[in-house]
A = this chain, B = another copy of it.
C-alpha cells in the first residue's frame, strides 16, 4: 500500500526519502500521512525486492568529506525496470483491497495512469463498500435512535451524512467515467465514427501532468 504510493511517486521522477514524504503528504492529502517509521523500512524492502535502486545522480559529494561518521549523504531512490513493471501490475489489480478506506485514496491518486475499466471497477467497489456501511449505520441508528444520548446521536448522524456525501461523490465520478469512456458508445461524440470502438483508448492516456 505504501509500496504502491512509493512506486507511483517515483514513477514520476527519482526522489530522496524526505521529499518522498512531502509528496506523500501533499498527494494523498487528507488520506493518511505516513511517517518515516514506515517509509524507510518500506524503501529498504523494495530495494531488496529489486523494485528500486539508489541513484546518487552525480557524486558531487566530496568523497572523503566526513570521514568520522558513517558517511550520511542524500540517497536518491529511482525505479528499476522491474519496479515500473510492478507498478503497472499493482495499478491493474482491482481487488477488495483496492477500496478499503486507506488504500482507495492511493489508488485514486494514480488513476491518471490506470486503465479506465479498472478505474470504474475500483470506484464501484468503493461505492458498494460505502453503501454497505451506510446501510449498517442506518439500521442500527433506526433501531437505537430512541435510546441514544443527544451527542451519540449527533455523532451517528454526522457520520451517516459523511458516508452519504462520499457516495454521491463516487456516483458523480462513475458517471463521468462512463461518459468519458462508455462501454458502448451511446452516441458519436464527433462527426467521425470512431476508429477505435471506444472500449479501449490505450494509446491515449487521459491528460497527465508534467509537461504542459
Report the bound CA distance from A112 to B158 in whole Å: 17
- Given A112-B149, A112-B150, A151-B109, is A159 in contact with B206 using a C-beta cutoff of 8 Å? no
The answer on a CB contact under 8 Å between B30 and A151 is: no
Report the bound CA distance from A148 to B144 in whole Å: 45
The answer on a CB contact under 8 Å between B207 and A155 is: no
- Given A105-B155, A155-B109, A162-B162, is A148 in contact with B209 using a C-beta cutoff of 8 Å? yes
Interface residues contributed by chain A, number (CB under 8 Å): 38
- Given A148-B209, A206-B150, A207-B150, is A29 in contact with B112 using a C-beta cutoff of 8 Å? no
DSSP majority for the A interface? helix
The answer on a CB contact under 8 Å between B137 and A29 is: yes
Report the bound CA distance from A105 to B149 in whole Å: 14
Most chain-B CB neighbours within 10 Å: which of A111, A155, A159? A155
Complex A-B: 12 CB contacts under 8 Å: A26-B140, A29-B159, A30-B137, A30-B159, A105-B155, A108-B155, A110-B151, A112-B149, A112-B151, A112-B152, A149-B207, A150-B207
Please give 16 more A-B residue pairs, beta carbons under 8 A apart, in addition to A109-B151, A147-B209, A154-B173.
Answer: A29-B137, A29-B159, A30-B163, A31-B159, A108-B155, A109-B155, A110-B151, A111-B151, A112-B151, A112-B152, A147-B210, A148-B209, A149-B206, A150-B203, A152-B209, A162-B162
Interface residues of A (CB under 8 A from B): 26-27, 29-31, 105, 108-112, 133, 137, 140, 144, 147-152, 154-156, 158-160, 162-163, 165, 169, 173, 203, 206-210
Q: Which 10 A-B pairs have the closest CB atoms?
A: A30-B159, A111-B151, A112-B149, A149-B209, A29-B159, A26-B140, A29-B156, A147-B209, A109-B152, A112-B151
